[in-house]
Amino acid sequence: MQQTKPRRIWRIVLVTSLAVNLLMIGVAGGAYLRDGGGPPRGFDVQLGALTSALSTKDRRAIGEQLRQGMEQRGQTHRDRRAAFESLVETVKMQPFDPEALALVIREQQNQQTVLQERALGVFVSHVTEMSAEERSAFAKRLRDGVARRDERNDRRPPPDEVNSGG
């Protein structure tokens, strides 16, 4: 009778451990697959309020165009991941080489600039294809979004002068 209790406890521990491991694998795998497609989620790429004012349908259409453009130029999630790993390895390098780090960062900035230029072109093209009514609705969402942001900022307490160095 006493032997069955320890076996049962170990079985519960093992099943629980397996469940937790599977959950972690699912979370990690989901995050990897979710981010593997293309431009950053929401495709902001420095267009800020303009992106926020787009309808979900428009954001998805523009994001898909950006994704296709990246694939056509051979830029994949794997390439971006390799660039990140290159940055990490450069930071860890012994002896540390600041020029190598600057070079890696400059290359990533260049890639980001290319993506921003592409996003701007796709965005302008998409707005150009909108009807007058769609552009009017977009302009209203843009104005409303900025007003909401300003309202939120007005409700925030002023920055602490001690923390701001003043």
Write the single-letter amino acid at 141: R
* Closest by CA position to 52, among listed 123, 122, 133, 151: 123
* pTM of the entire predicted model: 0.54
pLDDT at residue 40, rounded to an integer: 43
pLDDT at residue 161, rounded to an integer: 53
Is the CB of residue 138 less than 8 Å from the CB of residue 53?
yes
pLDDT at residue 84, rounded to an integer: 85
pLDDT at residue 54, rounded to an integer: 83
Rounded to an integer, what distance in angstroms lies between the CA atom of residue 138 and that of residue 161? 39
What are the tens digits of pLDDT across the range 10-36?
Answer: 767 666 655 655 555 655 555 545 544
pLDDT at residue 132, rounded to an integer: 94
What are the domain boundaries of the chain? Answer: 1-35, 38-153
Could you report how far apart the first and last alpha carbons of the chain are, in Å? 73
Cβ neighbors of 76 (< 8 A, separation 6 or more) are 70
pLDDT at residue 133, rounded to an integer: 94
Write the single-letter amino acid at 33: L
pLDDT at residue 107, rounded to an integer: 87
> Which regions of the chain are under pLDDT 50?
32, 35-45, 162, 166
pLDDT at residue 128, rounded to an integer: 92
Distances (CA, A) of 5 to 18, 21, 69: 20, 24, 61
Rounded to an integer, what distance in angstroms lies between the CA atom of residue 51 and that of residue 42? 8
